[in-house]
């Protein structure tokens, strides 16, 4: 803990100690906003983790902080929130700090308008305000009872800095149980937090973690976690299946003016039917309660998921085979913003030279692509096809010494 306070005001701004906002939830438990780094035993939950749930208006953006990968979720809307159900005794937030600046579409720190404020609640308790323009790793709570918890982070749409923004940029959470002295018990709760799947899996893992006393108990819990990951991997393809494109202003604009023809309507209808077929096995996977003494039900649900996934694969393979020949170029493209009058930008990424233009016929996936053009000391950075599909136009830098 980084400090305590003598008086507890259960609503509004809770108070500050040592430069951090604190709220005492119960004896020995503190929700706080202080810089911290995930420990070596921490379990990480990035933006694409199914247990990290975004509500309201969020858009993916590239961020300079590479924790959890290059991308983050950005919200400019007051009331937009992100939440995580977790098992452990402490939880932290990974977010973009600094200001809202842009460099080739990437959010950069310490430039532009300061990023905004967010409200944090643990298990529905009193709110604590955090300033996301500070640091990039904020410890939200520690000293929680070992068990299941929920953290909710909500955009307040405001900033402490004059002229600041109401934007927050979230990359994910980390969860730990470092306050538990018993190594076996600590590992049990971290294993329970690593479980995948729906409510049935999470409830079963929490029950098991609470009962762990020996290494054998821990091994059985770890077997449950491994089984949950196997089932989630089988379900992942079905969860992602949709007939709708990702939401974006461009997609919404096209929807207003585009009328699908009969062939497209049939394709979308088949996608919707496949998604409906997936609902039943996915519901079974979400509600499944694993019993290591009887793996037959587990094997049955896994078989259903795989049969459904095989039907999805067969459908898409057939659709791909119907595509016309594909034209593409290979080799490292030039750096962003490459142009003839910006030679410093016209270096291939990774300084790897060599390029080619090829065609590939999806109707014959076993045949290699046909090479139309190649050069060892050049780099292509733009390629277009004429309207009649008979002429290829491309831009390239020829010669390393240029």
- The pLDDT tens digits for 160-194 are 888 788 889 999 999 998 878 889 999 999 999 99
How is residue 106 annotated by DSSP? E
Q: Which residue has the higher pLDDT, 327 or 71?
A: 327
How is residue 336 annotated by DSSP? T
- Is the pLDDT confidence value at 84 over 90? yes
Domain assignments of the chain as residue spans, ordered by start:
16-179, 232-321, 326-398
Q: Which residue has the higher pLDDT, 21 or 81?
A: 81
- Is the pLDDT confidence value at 309 over 60? yes
How large is the average pLDDT for residues 320-347? 72
Residue 127 sits at φ, ψ, to 5 deg, of -80, 150
Element containing residue 254 per DSSP (H, E): helix 249-257
Mean pLDDT is highest, among 16-25, 31-40, 338-347, for 31-40
Q: What is the pTM (predicted TM-score) of this model? A: 0.66
User: The dihedral of CA 255, 261, 265, 271: what is its sign?
Assistant: negative
- In the CATH hierarchy, which fold is given to the domain comprising 16-179? Jelly Rolls (2.60.120)
């Amino acid at each position: 803990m980084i400090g305590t306070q003598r008086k507890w005001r259960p609503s509004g701004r809770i108070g500050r100690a040592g430069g951090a906002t604190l709220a005492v939830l119960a004896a020995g438990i503190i929700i706080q906003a202080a810089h911290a780094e995930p420990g070596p035993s921490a379990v990480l939950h990035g933006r694409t983790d199914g247990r990290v749930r975004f509500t309201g208006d969020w858009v993916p953006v590239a961020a300079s902080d590479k924790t959890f990968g290059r991308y983050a979720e950005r919200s400019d809307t007051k009331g937009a929130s992100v939440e995580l159900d977790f098992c452990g005794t402490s939880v932290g937030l990974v977010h973009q700090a600094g200001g809202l600046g842009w460099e080739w579409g990437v959010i950069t720190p310490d430039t532009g308008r300061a990023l905004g404020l967010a409200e944090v609640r643990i298990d529905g308790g009193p709110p604590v305000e955090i300033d996301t323009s500070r640091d990039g790793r904020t410890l939200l709570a520690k000293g929680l009872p070992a068990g299941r918890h929920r953290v909710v982070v909500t955009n307040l749409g405001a900033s402490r800095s004059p002229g600041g923004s109401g934007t927050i940029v979230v990359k994910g959470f980390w969860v730990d149980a470092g306050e538990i002295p018993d190594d076996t018990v600590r590992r049990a709760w971290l294993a329970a937090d690593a479980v995948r799947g729906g409510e049935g899996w999470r409830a079963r893992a929490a029950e098991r973690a609470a009962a762990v006393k020996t290494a054998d108990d821990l091994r059985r819990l770890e077997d449950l976690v491994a089984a949950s990951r196997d089932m989630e991997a089988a379900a992942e393809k079905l969860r992602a299946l949709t007939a709708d494109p990702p939401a974006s202003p461009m997609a919404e604009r096209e929807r207003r003016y585009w009328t699908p023809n009969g062939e497209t309507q049939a394709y979308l209808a088949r996608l919707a039917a496949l998604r409906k077929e997936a609902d039943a096995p996915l519901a079974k996977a979400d509600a499944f309660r694993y019993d290591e003494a009887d793996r037959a039900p587990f094997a049955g649900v896994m078989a259903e998921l795989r049969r459904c996934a095989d039907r999805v694969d067969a459908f898409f393979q057939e659709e791909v085979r119907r595509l016309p020949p594909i034209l593409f170029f290979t080799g490292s493209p030039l750096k962003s913003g490459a142009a003839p009058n910006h030679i410093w930008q016209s270096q291939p990424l990774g300084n790897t030279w060599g390029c080619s233009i090829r065609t590939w016929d999806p109707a014959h996936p076993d045949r290699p692509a046909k090479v139309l053009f190649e050069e060892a000391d050049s780099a292509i950075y733009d390629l277009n096809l004429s309207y009649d599909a008979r002429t290829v136009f491309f831009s390239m830098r020829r010669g390393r010494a240029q």
